[in-house]
Structure 1
């Protein structure tokens, strides 16, 4: 019996061709499905903060300095592929110890204003700086989160200063009535000095016979008015008929913008 070799070869070729065609078909189908999946659920990048500036609010400064009792101007440009859901601003101190009458400042605010909940918003806010916080270096942080849960952050440092700074105090702690006491300290006033006052009053002292209550405020402008840096140096006479005992003294420097800075101390007045 003769075998038709040509027919067998032809049948094998047809079988192989069908097998390869099936494999190619499923390969194309899988690739198509994968492409459809990619096109249906594109991956969006997290928001990008392209600029971040801050400083004294009254002049929209970018010098990264602000003043107690004033405000901070903060602005950021944001590129967001998905709609922004929130912007968080955080400001806190760097190891600052509050002085007498001061408190820690730990600011955090989550902004969800309608004009921010968009693609590519511009963040522009002014934040009030308390008057009773320590001066020094603060950490400032901005966090942007989109509706997909992606977030990004940027941070920096902010120096918070006093409009008026008092330092290098040298003030007598005792004085004899009829004599004077010496007071000296250094003043720096960004806006220039308007005046310096000294308020002296007693702490519950009984006024004896021939004595007169010493409760007086002294104002000094000559040699100080308009200057931004100066040494305050005065000798204040104690009335000869003032009751003896402890007195409270408040030194107040007022600048040309109405900002004030106080320094308080006590002095003991003796008869001799």
Structure 2
């Protein structure tokens, strides 16, 4: 019995400690295409995947996402994400991690930091990190518009639109800043929806001329642009123009 007990004790002492989990192939990107290029769009979802090798059973997987000191613009709200996954499909030795995370439509655009942490039943921990670029599904560049216009004439507007989901429509709204019409003048407000030549396009130049009535009161006008894509996402921005008397 003594030799047998001695051999058993020696075997226990020689058992190696369980190694920490190994995380490989951590990839993430646009959810609708199962992208892996580390970019995604607000108002859409983020696809994530990784392979995990573990000597002991996995007890939890923790995913965190937070922004890098991003500026929060009008209509935006700071977005941080944290979730602990304990689904039965992950509580095994070598699970494949595959999840989709919704990105709020009002999340600030910019760079986000991701951490994926795996904890096993022996208390071992491993983590991997990455960086994600959150983009707007609608982007505007090269904006140009006349600074002033004579009433009875027209002013021109142009800018490039990139809409990953395609453009549904573009609305232009022009209204005055509390102007009181004088003799022979008529209050002027303008609103028009543009679809022809833009609907369904993912990249296009908006180029239009807007007529100003000869009876419009002179003064400053607010010009609002609203771009809506095929999934209902909105991109709004504004400018101002001075209407001068003839």
TM-score (structure 1 length as normaliser): 0.76
Rounded Cα–Cα distance in structure 2 between residues aligned with 1:155 and 1:107: 14
The answer for the alignment partner of 2:10 in structure 1 is: 35
Secondary structure, in 3 states, of the residue corresponding to 2:32?
helix
Rounded Cα–Cα distance in structure 2 between residues aligned with 1:89 and 1:237: 54
Greater RCO, 1 or 2 (C-alpha within 8 Å, sep 6+): 2
In structure 2, relative to structure 1, the CA distance for the partners of 1:181 and 1:45 (3 Å cut) is same
CA offset digits 1:159-218 (Å, max 9, x no partner) = 322222101111223333222222121112223333322111233333445443322212
Rounded Cα–Cα distance in structure 2 between residues aligned with 1:228 and 1:114: 41
What is the CA-CA distance between 1:75 and the residue it aligns to?
Answer: 2.0
List aligned pairs for 1:128-207, cutoff 5 A: 128-207=102-181
List aligned pairs for 1:88-103, cutoff 5 A: 88-94=62-68, 96-103=70-77
Rounded Cα–Cα distance in structure 1 between residues aligned with 2:91 and 2:175: 57
1:62 equivalent among 15, 19, 36: 36
What is the CA-CA distance between 1:130 and the residue it aligns to?
Answer: 1.9
Secondary structure, in 3 states, of the residue corresponding to 1:205?
coil
What is the CA-CA distance between 1:47 and the residue it aligns to?
Answer: 1.3
Tell which structure's C-alpha radius of gyration is larger.
1
The answer for the alignment partner of 2:235 in structure 1 is: 261
RMSD (CA atoms): 2.9
Higher helix share: 1
1:245 equivalent among 219, 234, 245: 219
Rounded Cα–Cα distance in structure 1 between residues aligned with 2:180 and 2:91: 67
1:75 equivalent among 40, 49, 70: 49
In structure 2, relative to structure 1, the CA distance for the partners of 1:212 and 1:111 (3 Å cut) is farther
Rounded Cα–Cα distance in structure 1 between residues aligned with 2:96 and 2:43: 26
The answer for the alignment partner of 1:105 in structure 2 is: 79
Rounded Cα–Cα distance in structure 1 between residues aligned with 2:93 and 2:5: 35
Rounded Cα–Cα distance in structure 2 between residues aligned with 1:264 and 1:112: 46
Secondary structure, in 3 states, of the residue corresponding to 1:58?
coil
